[in-house]
């Protein structure tokens, strides 16, 4: 700490000490509020255990198409090759492609008992 009394007068140091003591005494026995986890991290946490496994990719209709032909355009079993906070990479046969995580909703394929990722294009 700087010993220059003109920069940190005794009255200021005492005020800081009083505020710190008040914060400490009022937080005794309390747990800090959890920090909100970003949506991308929540998705990543749900998807990563499926890396290297088959999942269901559902391509979803949007807009008027939902009312005309239904919410799901098509479904297929794909291999989840990779995932990070920006995109997933899926493979089928010898082909692969990446999809932005912002276009993905996480769900469950109850019929196949596996992860379902719903791809939307808004």
Span 40-60, pLDDT tens digits = 899 999 999 999 999 999 888
**CA-to-CA distance for 55 and 20, rounded, in angstroms?**
51
CB burial of 71-99 (b: ≥16 within 10 Å; e: otherwise) equals eeeebeebbbeebeeeebbbeeeeeeeeb
**CA-to-CA distance for 84 and 102, rounded, in angstroms?**
12
pTM value is 0.67
Which helix or strand (DSSP H or E) is residue 108 part of? strand 104-109
**Per-residue tokens: 44:** 């990543």
pLDDT for residue 51: 96
Q: Output the tens digit of pLDDT for each of the chain's 122 residues.
A: 556 667 777 887 888 888 888 888 888 877 777 778 888 899 999 999 999 999 999 888 776 765 676 667 788 999 999 999 999 999 998 999 999 999 999 999 999 999 999 998 76
pLDDT for residue 113: 95
């Amino acid at each position: 700490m700087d010993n220059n009394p003109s920069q940190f007068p005794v009255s200021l140091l005492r005020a800081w000490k009083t505020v710190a003591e008040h914060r400490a005494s009022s937080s005794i026995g309390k747990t800090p509020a959890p920090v909100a986890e970003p949506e991308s991290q929540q998705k990543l946490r749900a998807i990563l255990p499926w890396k290297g496994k088959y999942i269901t990719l559902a391509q979803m209709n949007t807009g008027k198409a939902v009312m005309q032909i239904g919410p799901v355009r098509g479904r297929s079993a794909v291999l989840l090759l990779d995932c990070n906070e920006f995109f997933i990479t899926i493979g089928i046969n010898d082909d692969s492609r990446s999809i932005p995580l912002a276009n993905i909703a996480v769900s469950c394929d109850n019929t196949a008992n596996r992860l379902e990722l719903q791809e939307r294009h808004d």
